[in-house]
Structure 1
Amino acid sequence: MTIPEQVKIGAINYKVQEKTLVDNATENWGLCVFYDNHIEILEGLSEERKEQILVHEILHAIFYESGFEEQDEDLVNRVGITFHQFLKDNNLFHKQDVN
C-alpha cells in the first residue's frame, strides 16, 4: 500500500507526511496534529508498520472530529491494531482518491 498524501475525515482533509523526526522526538512513530490537520509518520519504518501507524493516527482524528478531545491512548492502540488487521484481511486497505 502506498501511504496517501491526504485522508478526509468528516469534513476535514488531513495531509499525511513522512518525516525523519516525528514531533521532534526520536521515540515517536506517528502523530496527529489537529490544529492544522496533518498526520506525521516516521520515515524508515516497514510499509506494514507505516500502515499500522497511519490507521492509529486516523483513529485519533476520527475521535477528535467526533468531539472526543480527550482520548485514551490504550484504547486507540488496541482498536488501531485490530482495525488495521480487519482492513488487511478484508482487502480494504488500498489507496483511493480524496476529494
Structure 2
Amino acid sequence: MIPTIVKVAGIEYKINEVENMENEFNCLGQILYTKGIIKIDSELTQDRKEQVFVHELLHACFYEAGIEEQDEDIVNRVGIVLHQVLKENFTKKY
C-alpha cells in the first residue's frame, strides 16, 4: 500500500495518482521537489505503483541529502532491490 503523504528529512511529499502519465509524459512516475509532490501513473498494477513509489522516494532521499545530480540507472537499480526488500520483509504499508 502506498501512503498519501511521506516525510523525507522533515519535508512532506504528497503522493498523487495521475491518469495516463506513461502515454502523455513517457514516464511512470515523477517528483516535483519544490512542490513536494510525487506523481504515480494510476493505471499501473499495484506492484508496479509500489515500485515506482520507491523509485521516486529514492529521488526525494537523494535530493534532500543534497545530491541534485542523480544517476537514473542507479536509482532504478536500487529502487527495484529496495522495493523487493520492503515488500518481502515488512508490512505492505510503507
Distance 1:64 1:24, change over 3 A: farther
Residues paired across the two proteins, number:
94
Q: Tell me how large the CA RMSD over aligned residues is.
A: 1.7
Shift of 1:44: 1.1
Aligned: 1:56 with 2:52: no
Q: Give the structure-2-normalised TM-score.
A: 0.92
SS at 1:69 equivalent = coil
Distance 1:18 1:84, change over 3 A: same
Q: Could you tell me which amino acid in structure 1 is paired with residue 68 of structure 2? A: E
Which 5+ residue runs of structure 1 have no aligned equivalent? none
State percent identity of aligned pairs.
Answer: 48
Match of 2:41 in 1: 42
Shift of 1:40: 0.1
Q: Could you tell me which amino acid in structure 2 is paired with residue 19 of structure 1? A: V
Match of 1:8 in 2: 7
Work out the CA distance in 1 between the residues paired with 2:24 and 2:69. 22
Which deviates more from structure 2 when the two are superposed, residues 16-25 or residues 31-40? 16-25
